[in-house]
Chain A
């Protein structure tokens, strides 16, 4: 059974810092990995999709990497801003569903 773990559960940093969020999964047989952002009480916004054959994807200040063999992904956020405050979820695509981690709650302090 696929399990996805995100560390840390919460993170608070001052504005302007670069930061890394971690995601690990137990079964390397995945089709892709997706990072989402969720604002309190709101929906999930897709940030980056990494196919299983890819090593990384970039979008603006965000860079996500994937090491399928070791079951790890990282989301790098450069020059963090208060507007980046949200919960970040990673999810791996299996045969029938996405399996989600519990998320990292990120707070960027002005």
Chain B
């Protein structure tokens, strides 16, 4: 089954404790991205990757890092989480990085709470 898998689904952590949210897709997609969803603000892009070793900032990159060492994986790293990063996070992927009319697939989401 074609899917985007995020782990963990739920996470409660303390301020300053580094964490990684993993994202993996099995569709051989080149393009992957991360979004956060907040009440009243909707979904906003954090980072995206057009292909392996190619990443770039989205609209709200501060406090986040990403890496793209393999095509299937695109982890989101919070080096020093703060309470304002409490949010619902989504990973997404679509086919070809530079072909922009393909369907986007989303993971199940990761509910992160930073206390």
Q: Please give the residue numbers on chain A whose beta carbons come within 8 Å of chain B beta carbons, in ascending order.
A: 31-32, 34, 36, 41-46, 49, 51-52, 89, 91, 93-98, 100-103
Contact = CB atoms under 8 A, between A and B. Distances in A.
20 contacts: A32-B100, A36-B106, A41-B109, A42-B109, A43-B109, A44-B90, A44-B106, A45-B106, A46-B103, A46-B104, A52-B101, A91-B104, A93-B101, A93-B104, A94-B100, A96-B56, A97-B48, A98-B92, A101-B42, A102-B40
Contacts of B90: 43-44
Given A97-B45, A101-B42, A43 B104 contact: no
A31 B102 CA distance: 9
Nearest to A4: B42
B67 interface: no
Interface residues of B, number: 23
Contacts of B108: 42-43
Contacts of A31: 100-101
**Centre residue among B92, B104, B106, B107 by max chain A CB count within 10 A:** B104
Nearest to B109: A43
A42 B106 CA distance: 11
Most chain-B Cβ atoms within 10 A of its Cβ — which of A32, A89, A103?
A: A32
Q: Considering the complex of A and B, which 4 residue pairs feature the smallest CB-CB distances, nearest first?
A: A44-B106, A43-B108, A31-B100, A100-B43
Contact of A97 (B40, B58, B103, B111): B58
B42 A32 contact: no
A102 B40 CA distance: 7
B33 interface: yes
Contacts of B40: 102
B36 to A, nearest CB: 11
B64 interface: no
Contacts of A46: 103-106
Interface string B19-63: 000000000000001000000101101001000000010110000
Given A41-B109, A46-B103, A89-B43, 15 more contacts: A31-B101, A32-B102, A32-B103, A36-B106, A42-B108, A44-B106, A46-B104, A96-B56, A97-B33, A97-B45, A97-B48, A97-B59, A98-B43, A101-B42, A102-B40
